[in-house]
Amino acid sequence: MTIDYLETRQDIDAKKLGFYGLSMGATQGVRLIALESRLKAAVLVSGGLSPGHQPAETDIWNYAPRVRTPVLMLSGRDDMVYPVETAQKPLFNALGTPAQDKRYVQFEGGHANLVSHPDLIGQILEWFDDYLGPVQARP
């Protein structure tokens, strides 16, 4: 696994690893952040619960309550892939992360164009700085 490799690197602080997932990566990433305690913060962009029935062992519903990692969820108000009321809010509410360590932010826009929103990167960097600390320049 990549995290195992990162732990062997002298130039990486493996105690300060975060997860960033976009779209399906945000949705499927819920399983990873529920199971991988070495990830100390997560950002989920344009994700949500997928419609349809999944086998219990892979259903995101069964993983979301087990998430304890601080999570920032950034989504578009007009997202047609993961709609607000049926996909975004249910996922955010299902996350087991304590309320003070999770935040849900909606932006104007839809699914794919959210990544170009001017405030998106600032929100992500601020979240990771708050939970992982600012990036330190290496000599």
Say which CATH class 2-7+17-132 falls into: alpha beta
Distance CA 19, CA 60 (A): 17
Closest CA to 71 of 101, 106, 49: 101
Three-state SS for 68-91 is CCCEEEEEECCCCCCCHHHHHHHH
What local confidence, expressed as pLDDT, does residue 139 receive? 64
Q: Please list the pLDDT of the chain residue by residue as tens digits (139 residues).
A: 689 999 999 888 999 999 999 999 999 999 999 999 999 999 999 999 987 788 889 999 999 999 999 999 999 999 999 999 999 999 999 999 999 999 999 998 888 777 777 889 999 999 999 999 998 776 6
Q: Where are the domains of the chain?
A: 2-7+17-132
- Residue 29 near residue 21 (C-beta atoms within 8 A): yes
What local confidence, expressed as pLDDT, does residue 50 receive? 84
What local confidence, expressed as pLDDT, does residue 72 receive? 98
The predicted model scores a pTM of 0.93
